[in-house]
Homo-oligomer: A and B are copies of this chain.
Amino acid sequence: MSDIPAVKSALKAQVIETPSWGYGNSGTRFKVFAQQGVPRDPFEKLADAARVHAATGVAPLVSLHIPWDTVPDYGKLRAHAEDLGVRIGMINSNTFQDDDYRIGSVCHPDPAVRRKAIAHLLACVDVMDATGSTALKLWFADGTNYPGQDDITARQDRLHEALQAVYARLGPEQRMVLEYKFFEPAFYTTDVPDWGTSYAHCLKLGPKAKVVVDTGHHAPGTNIEFIVALLLREGKLGAFDFNSRFYADDDLMVGAADPFQLFRILHEVAKNGGLDAANGVAFMLDQCHNIEAKIPAIIRSVMNVQEATAKALLVDLDALRAAQAAGDVLGANAVLMDAYNTDVRPLLAEVRQEMGLNPDPLAAYAATGHAEKIIADRVGGTQAGWGA
């Protein structure tokens, strides 16, 4: 049987990080549909993120993206966050939007472009220093579109050189996490396309380098929980970028496309110590709310992660291990499904009430009137999006 007080404690201790860019506009290559009330600067993004934390109680960290969140005074931004009750999470680099990066950044054939990209990465560590962020999140759009366009192994050499330069710059309490992605925006090779490539690089760099698993960045059919379990076994799981997908990197709300997969992932996380703060795994959302209201979508996503976590914590591990050891295929599966089929919403409502929160985060948010207020207030200026 599950130890409900322990489950509740774990749920109260959970920390889910939200991305500053999730509050801004996003879209596809076909169209970005602007929404009313979208933030115009990083301060307004933090204000929205603080509402998510206020409603859910488990989202105190906000991930920044440089240069989209560049400000003249990061100390001021950090203080603003703290005033709002949130903190700066991971710093995300961007080496894909400058015209120089047309055919690559850290893997570009031209050393001058590589130097520029590395300088940006080092500047991101400066932002970490200034904001108190302890992790640099690296995703490289680098790759090629056509066979022959560039040399696969030469690009790996260049990548290694860049990663080493960044690794050497990290402070004692800082770390870097390296994301992989199956494809997009590159359509033939991607320089870090799978967990194996990221893992191989992180292994060479050292203990401060770990792998990021973005749940939307895999080939069709890939067993993501298997990768998660392996990385935890190796001590190399650095962070999640949660979202969900039916097709490619769709960036839908986590838990929206395959809630059973999310549960299986969190089962591996819970079973392999990934929920222990000491393990340092960051649980981040990385989503695009192209057509739905952004703040409610993020609250819903946080709730989806909580529900999957609650179900994972309810798995009767003793019964599971007994069935597994006995080779009881149906019995072991049934133990897992029993937890999954449980409606954990009442349990989470209790958890929230014990945390002094409204049991219904969406209703709590709606009651604040924030949605109406930002539509009224945020008039003029340039809405935040992927380009700014």
Report how many copies the assembly holds. Answer: 4
State whether A329 touches B184 (Cβ < 8 A).
no
Cβ of A256 under 8 Å from chain B: yes
Cβ of A368 under 8 Å from chain B: no
State whether B150 touches A332 (Cβ < 8 A).
yes
Residues of B contacting A27 in the complex (Cβ-Cβ under 8 angstroms): 29, 185
State whether A30 touches B148 (Cβ < 8 A).
no
Given A230-B156, A325-B109, are A148 and B221 neighbors across the interface (CB < 8 Å)? Answer: no
Q: How far is the CA of A188 from the CA of B332 in the complex (A)?
A: 14
Residues of B contacting A152 in the complex (Cβ-Cβ under 8 angstroms): 225-226, 229-230, 268
Cβ of A200 under 8 Å from chain B: yes
Cβ of A58 under 8 Å from chain B: no
Residues of B contacting A341 in the complex (Cβ-Cβ under 8 angstroms): 307, 343, 345
Q: Min CB distance, A340 to chain B, in Å? A: 8
The digit string for A322-344, where 1 denotes a CB below 8 A from any CB of B, is 01111101101111110011110
Cβ of A141 under 8 Å from chain B: yes
Which of B149, B188, B257 is within 8 Å of A324, CB to CB? B149
State whether A96 touches B30 (Cβ < 8 A).
yes
Interface size for A (C-beta < 8 A) is 104
State whether B259 touches A332 (Cβ < 8 A).
no
**Nearest chain B residue, comparing its CB with the CB of A228:** B152
State whether B291 touches A145 (Cβ < 8 A).
yes
The digit string for A163-199, where 1 denotes a CB below 8 A from any CB of B, is 0000000000000000000111101111001111101
Cβ of A290 under 8 Å from chain B: yes
Which residues in chain A, 112-155, are within 8 Å of chain B measured between CB atoms?
Answer: 141, 145-154
Cβ of A272 under 8 Å from chain B: yes
Which of B149, B156, B219, B337 is within 8 Å of A219, CB to CB? B219
Residues of B contacting A219 in the complex (Cβ-Cβ under 8 angstroms): 218-222
Which of B97, B248, B327 is within 8 Å of A183, CB to CB? B248
Q: How far is the CA of A26 from the CA of B28 in the complex (A)?
A: 12
State whether A195 touches B193 (Cβ < 8 A).
no
State whether A256 touches B33 (Cβ < 8 A).
no
State whether A141 touches B185 (Cβ < 8 A).
no
The digit string for A30-44, where 1 denotes a CB below 8 A from any CB of B, is 110110000000000
**Nearest chain B residue, comparing its CB with the CB of A35:** B102
Q: How far is the CA of A252 from the CA of B146 in the complex (A)?
A: 8
Residues of B contacting A340 in the complex (Cβ-Cβ under 8 angstroms): 259
Task: Determine, out of A12-20, A276-284, A292-300, the stretch whose residues face the partner at the interface.
Answer: A292-300
